[in-house]
Chains A and B, each alone.
Chain A
Amino acid sequence: MTNNWMKRQRLLGYIFIGPSMLGVLLFFLIPAAYSFGLMFTNYKFMNPNVDFVGFANIARLVKDPMFYKSLKNTVIFLAAVPVSIGIGFIVAVVLNQKIYLKKLLRGIYFMPYITSGVAVAFVWMLLFHPKQGPINGLLRSIGIDNPPGWLSTTTSSMFAIDIIWIWFMLGYNMIIYLAALQEVSPELLEAAKIDGAKPGQILRKIIWPLVSPTTFLLLITGLIMTIKTFGIIQAITQGGPGSSTTILSLYVYQNAFRYYDMGYASTLSWALFVVILLITLVQWIGQKRWVHY
């Protein structure tokens, strides 16, 4: 009887999760295994000669200067994540106080996150226009005669992308912090105030440690989400000028679908996976030092 019941539960369980498991198998596991295999071939699209090349692709990657450059660009891109988390935290703390128009403000700060895709990247492309764009117009009008070239120079382009990304992510970080701040007990803050703590001290010594699990979560998910992105960069700079905005995820795309060098692209994509794995590991180890549960 119980045995039968358990069998039935098991069957039902498989029926419920079955369709999704099939999806994972077809669109994640099998392609991932396939890609792993391609890493050891010289497969090029439309080229019937496919050879097993062993570790040649990996050897190529280790010596590929563009791989290191794309890694460096990726790091600059990722720098946007902690910055937008920091700003998101400040905005959340302010919005959590007694102010007017709270809901409207929250909605506005959050709007870029949900509405923007490629479309808004094109808007930024014009806003950043080096000669005539409104951003440089504003900078000139306040006396900066040589404003940056933003997306048009190799030295500033990655930072311009960072600005767009900070703008985009900020609202999400704020929303999550706002939820976390609801869990901070008002009595605790009141007690600290009575003991004579200054607002800055309360913020740094009480609130910031209390929301550290949230910061940790935002950091991991934000870094992983950012490292996988290449759409907005492909849309507005195609990795240029030169290769100054070619981040690793975009470099994978270029190798696969611009040069059709799919064996090498697979190798690069696994390097990307390793970076994601490392970020996650470092985070898990590092969190013990500064996350207070």
Chain B
Amino acid sequence: MAKSKNVVTASTAKQGGITLIMLFFAVIMIVPFVWMISTSLKTPIQVFEYPIKWIPSNPTWEHHVKVWTGAKSFGTYYVNSLKISIIATVGATFLSAFAAYGFARIHFKGREALFMVYLSMMMIPPQVLFVPKFIMFEWAGIYNTHLALILPGLFTIFGVFMLRQFFLSIPNEITESAFIDGAGHFRIFFKLVLPLAKPALATLAIIDFSWHWNDYENALVFLIDEGLYTVPLGLQNFILENTVDYNGMMAAASAGILPMIAVFIIGQRYIIQGLTNSAVKG
């Protein structure tokens, strides 16, 4: 009796010890975020005080106010980023589902070959495409407009790949009985497969949204007018113009990061599920 109790305490202590070690490293992982928020609430002379005061003695909101109401308000950047991210995400999720159904559920000649061609596009680095896209967009009149980000953003190879994996895992019996009842592919897709795929669609939508929200490289190449800037470009602009305003920088960085932290906390389960499914079963 006494012995088994000892074993329990020993393993509990071990568990607790490992947990503590892992917590310690977890704190290191989120230190940049904590430091960012903490600094954004400090005064300039407090920024590099050492030892670090994680909770500022008299927090000030003036830097956040400056970021949101200054000459170049983050409001505009937010509206631009939201517009691009939402339209591209909704479009890309639907188009990916449509194509993924074709690749997974309809049998036609040349399907596998086309899918390989499709996947191989992932090998082409964006750097190869920047210059010709720049020239083509200029020619089509969409360079320096949001369409230059939205239109290519409608197509995600990863999305098609991920949803195809999911559609392949839906048992044939489910769709077969619908076929026997005389339903066609369109009806099966909209009425049967899409509702079944809701969790997978949510996963893709969240991941895709985070890509668009964080996309700095395309915005850098295809947008010039400050009025069109997305959050990452606006952030860079703010930092170039306020090179020594470290508090302001961190308030601006918070403005860029906090929505993603919120999305992450809400959608964590979906994100993790989706990424592991596409990797391990892929």
Chain A residues at the B interface, C-beta cutoff of 8 Å: 6, 9-10, 12-17, 19-21, 23-24, 27-32, 34-35, 38, 91, 94-95, 97-101, 105-112, 114-120, 122-124, 126-127, 129, 132-134, 137, 141, 167, 170-172, 175-176, 178-180, 183, 214, 217-218, 221, 224, 227-228, 230-231, 234-235, 249, 252-253, 256-257, 262, 265-266, 268-270, 272-273, 276-277, 280
Contact = CB atoms under 8 A, between A and B. Distances in A.
Contact of A122 (B99, B239, B268): B239
Given A19-B99, A27-B129, A117 B268 contact: no
B152 to A, nearest CB: 4
A269 B261 contact: no
Interface stretch (B56-64, B100-108, B194-202): B100-108
A189 to B, nearest CB: 17
Contacts of B4: none
Interface residues of B, number: 95
Nearest to A107: B268
B253 A122 contact: yes
Contacts of A183: 280
A120 B253 contact: yes
A231 B217 contact: yes
A179 B279 contact: yes
Given A32-B128, A118-B256, A122-B252, 13 more contacts: A6-B109, A16-B185, A16-B189, A20-B96, A23-B152, A23-B154, A35-B128, A94-B22, A99-B18, A111-B33, A141-B51, A178-B276, A214-B280
- Pick the most buried of A119, A217, A269: most chain B CB atoms within 10 A of its CB: A119
Contacts of A15: 102
Interface in B2-49: 11, 15-16, 18-19, 21-23, 25-26, 29-30, 32-33, 35-36, 39, 47-48
Contacts of B21: 94
Main SS class of interface, B? helix
Interface in B244-282: 246, 249-250, 252-253, 256-257, 260-261, 263-265, 268, 271-272, 275-276, 279-280, 282
B236 A118 contact: yes
Interface of B: 11, 15-16, 18-19, 21-23, 25-26, 29-30, 32-33, 35-36, 39, 47-48, 50-52, 95-96, 98-99, 101-103, 106-109, 111, 114, 117-118, 121-136, 151-152, 154-155, 157, 160, 184-185, 189, 210, 213-217, 220-221, 231-232, 235-236, 239, 246, 249-250, 252-253, 256-257, 260-261, 263-265, 268, 271-272, 275-276, 279-280, 282
B29 A109 contact: yes
Contacts of B47: 132
Given A119-B235, A175-B272, A214-B280, A38 B106 contact: no
